[in-house]
Amino acid sequence: MKNKGQILVVLALGLLIMLMTVFSSMRGREEYEGELRTKTLVYDADPRGKIGLYWIDDEANKRKATSEEIKRCEELHPDEAIPICQTTYYEKDENGQ
């Protein structure tokens, strides 16, 4: 009889842990709604032929990197002559808002 009580307690704790995990994962998805994307810091030329650092994402969209972004990349990779930075981020779906 004593073993039945212990088994019920263990099962109840297991169920509680599973419910906490499910609710935690549901809440986590709300924070990161959107598509997972990657962008890379690369050297490229503008239309006038001037070379600079640009962010290029996985859909080939290009945006000029700011001086703060370049400094942050150099701090993360101090031993590289040409710092190569890559970041992963969530892009929110504009249609869903």
- Domain boundaries, given as residue ranges, for the chain: 1-33, 35-91
Q: What average pLDDT does this structure show over 60-89?
A: 78
Partners of 86 in the beta sheet?
40
Helix (H), strand (E) at residue 50? none
Could you tell me the pLDDT band of residue 97, with boundaries at 50, 70 and 90?
Answer: very low
Q: Band the pLDDT of 30: cuts 50, 70, 90.
A: low
* Category of 80 on φ-ψ map: left (φ > 0), alpha (ψ -120 to 50) or beta: beta
Main-chain phi, psi angles of 61, to 5 degrees:
-80, 135
- Dihedral of CA 72/37/34/95: which sign? positive
The total number of residues written for the chain in this structure: 97
List, in sequence order, the alpha helices (H) in 32-96.
67-76
pLDDT beyond 60 at 32: no
pLDDT tens, residue by residue, 4-24: 888 888 888 888 888 888 777
